[in-house]
Amino acid sequence: MTTLSEQSHKLTLTEQATSVLREAIISHTLAPGTNLQEKSACELTGASRTPVRVAMATLAKEGMLEYLPQRGYRVREFSLESVAQGFEIRATLEGMAARLAAEHGLSDQHLAILQKCVEDGNVMLEASSQELDRISWREMNETYHRTIQAAANYPLLSDLILRTENVPFNPLNVIPHWQGERSDEMVRFSHFDHIYILDAIINRQGGRAEARMREHIMVAIDVMRDQVAATLDHR
- What does pTM read for this prediction? 0.71
Q: What is the pLDDT of residue 44?
A: 93
Q: Are 54 and 20 in contact (CB under 8 A)?
A: no
Q: Report which of 214, 228, 220, 176 is spatially closest to residue 90, judged by C-alpha positions.
A: 214
Q: What is the pLDDT of residue 101?
A: 98
* Residue count (the chain): 235
- Ranges under pLDDT 50 in the chain: 2-9, 172-177
**In the chain, where do the E strands start and end?**
35-36, 65-68, 72-75
Q: What is the pLDDT of residue 32?
A: 85
Q: What is the pLDDT of residue 149?
A: 97
The residues spanned by each domain of the chain are 4-75, 80-233
Q: Give, in degrees to the nearest 5, the angle at Cα 169 between 163 and 173.
A: 80
Task: Say which CATH topology domain 80-233 has.
Answer: Four Helix Bundle (Hemerythrin (Met), subunit A) (1.20.120)
pLDDT tens digits along 190-229: 899 999 999 999 999 999 999 999 999 888 666 666 665 5
Query: What is d(CA 186, CA 87) in angstroms, rounded to the nearest whole number?
Result: 15
Identity at 36, one-letter amino acid code = L
Instruction: Give the up-direction half-sphere exposure of residue 55: CA atoms within 13 A in the CB hemisphere.
Output: 30
Task: Say which CATH topology domain 4-75 has.
Answer: Arc Repressor Mutant, subunit A (1.10.10)
Query: What is d(CA 106, CA 150) in angstroms, rounded to the nearest whole number?
Result: 10
